[in-house]
A and B are shown apart, each in its own frame.
Chain A
């Protein structure tokens, strides 16, 4: 193992035994292991990777992908079933912070106490307590019992504590969402200081924007297996593909039978259609008329992307395969925010585009929507839907009263929660910036009248 490598994980697997009744374990003991009364659950399967010194490393994956198990093994809490790991230094882990402090003790006492629990020598904390007190910005609360702390204060305290303890590897589990924006900035600044000191940071989080911005390398776990290691950008894309319920196996299957792009319905000359590799295949078995087979979220250059800056332009594209012959196709996108509030939805019929009167069974329909993300920073979920209308009705769509509209359309298929993307705020304010849910077009003027 070279000096540069701080953590080396070799073919690590972890199996938990699940007993229907605790006494089944005793039965196994009595039979001296000749019979089994448990089910096996493999939380980690053959995971290997190496982390270099001073790296900002991320582990991502859905809930239950085995991230916590992996961290617990690295920190020495759990023993791996097979495989091994080598650690070239001291590891500190901030797992689910804030819950293991003694509520009756003051912050100061807890700091001293935790340092001892983590095996630091006596007096170690006294030297650093001043820095921690300052960093945490708790003021007089630092000398009050923890039970009086708000949850934000607790996490601020925990982060401050761990950021000042000496270690070679610092494991952060979902902790960077603490405090207000200013405190978060401070946390990141501190992390950068640590990185500069050649301390390795392993981050486990669902905040993919953070991963993309700070991490050098990412591994993606899925059902206990490492299915990706490399650049954060690619890892995040892969993660989004997983969120659509596609296992690794399924993924390759779909890729192998690429739909032959035969009939392009929209034959407009300047039809925008991104490169094939940007597309994310999806599978919805319960489709009725139109099967959504893939979609893409890309930036103005046509590159696959999930993080956008407020006000950035994007293309949202998808492809349907028709299972039945339908009339005039009307495609729509829906964008919902994390609270499931519909932020935007607009169908193609409102945008005066050329459409055929009929789409035949087996044909592919491609839909592309050019959009400006003038919406509040945050995480958004994208959905697609396809409806149809008979050609006569479509011809007089402008005269159709709004209330009547729903009676004249036939819904083919609605796909909610197809993909997700992020909108990030600008570092500085500009004319694309706004507060509140969305940007409303318009301009403003100011006039000053002198008092006479």
Chain B
């Protein structure tokens, strides 16, 4: 019954969520000269920097020129995933005007930021594929699975964001903790650096760190046209269900307290 409620709420406010997410994406850089293009320029610069550092200076990236593509395939989903989490954890505080006055289910606001970054990831993926072709990768039909993986990844982000949004409202310190936790998180799984630097024995353990399975799958699809195996699917769906369930349970339990505090 309670799990069903979140679906019902999100469905009821679907137009609001959709419209707002799109709006947020378009106007995030409102007032700047190139506006919406910053969404693309920002990660592009980041990719250039890392490519420079890893493939030219450190030269441990065995893949050479295709390091750029390797990086893109990992960094872009990671970026939007992190965005879902950080923006999601801020969602209640930022929308306190609405939460204080309207009887609107609070998960709607987390869903809104999740959808914004999902849109962004779609755009990124649509841009990465032509780049891949240019760099000489052979793309197969596997890429049709990319949107599915993107949705699953952001579903996970939604669950985590919902948990963090509740926690951050009650404990403002969470925001500060996240600020150092996220960089740490991004370096314990191979996103920036080539996975060849990691000892083979550690690989299976990486699946215990949530978004690794997702990012690994996206990467495999783009770079090697390799579908995720059954176990990887199970791991991904397992993580997704766990966090969405946890987030929903927490949101239900704390909702009244959140409204008192906010």
Contacts and interface: CB of A to CB of B under 8 A. Distances in A.
Interface of A: 16-17, 22-23, 25-26, 72, 75-79, 93, 95-96, 99-100, 102, 104, 113, 116-119, 122
B52 interface: no
B191 to A, nearest CB: 32
Given A77-B102, A78-B259, A113 B19 contact: yes
B16 A117 contact: yes
A23 B260 CA distance: 16
Given A23-B173, A116-B19, A119-B12, 6 more contacts: A25-B170, A77-B99, A78-B256, A100-B102, A117-B16, A117-B102
Contacts of A122: 15
Contacts of A17: 257, 260
A78 B97 contact: no
Contacts of B259: 77-79
B103 A76 contact: yes
Given A100-B97, A113-B19, A117-B98, A22 B103 contact: no
Contact of A77 (B19, B30, B103, B173): B103
B171 interface: yes
A22 B170 contact: yes
B16 A104 contact: no
B104 A96 contact: no
Contacts of A22: 170-173
Given A26-B171, A113-B19, A77 B256 contact: no
B63 interface: no
A117 B27 CA distance: 20
A314 B97 CA distance: 46
Residue with the highest number of chain A CB atoms closer than 10 Å, among B13, B103, B104, B170 = B103
A118 B102 CA distance: 8
Given A75-B103, A77-B259, A117-B104, A23 B171 contact: yes
Contacts, number: 53
B100 interface: yes
Contact of B101 (A96, A102, A104): A96
A206 B126 CA distance: 57
A79 B101 contact: no
A19 to B, nearest CB: 9
Given A116-B15, A118-B102, A99 B171 contact: no
Given A22-B171, A116-B16, A93 B101 contact: yes
A169 B256 CA distance: 24
A104 B27 contact: yes
A72 B23 CA distance: 29
Contacts of A119: 12
A347 to B, nearest CB: 50
Contacts of A100: 97-98, 101-102
B256 A79 contact: yes
A39 to B, nearest CB: 13
A208 to B, nearest CB: 25
Contacts of A75: 101-103
Nearest to A173: B101
Residue with the highest number of chain A CB atoms closer than 10 Å, among B13, B23, B98, B260 = B260
Contacts of B12: 119
Contacts of B15: 116, 122
B31 to A, nearest CB: 10
Contacts of B257: 17
A23 B170 CA distance: 8
Contacts of A99: 97
A102 B16 CA distance: 13
Contacts of B16: 113, 116-117
B112 to A, nearest CB: 12
Contact of B30 (A93, A95, A104, A118): A104
Contacts of B27: 104
Contacts of A113: 16, 19
Nearest to A23: B171
A77 B98 CA distance: 10
A367 to B, nearest CB: 48
A113 B257 CA distance: 28
Nearest to A75: B103
Interface string B93-115: 00001111111100000000000
Interface in B144-193: 170-173
B209 to A, nearest CB: 25
Nearest to B259: A78
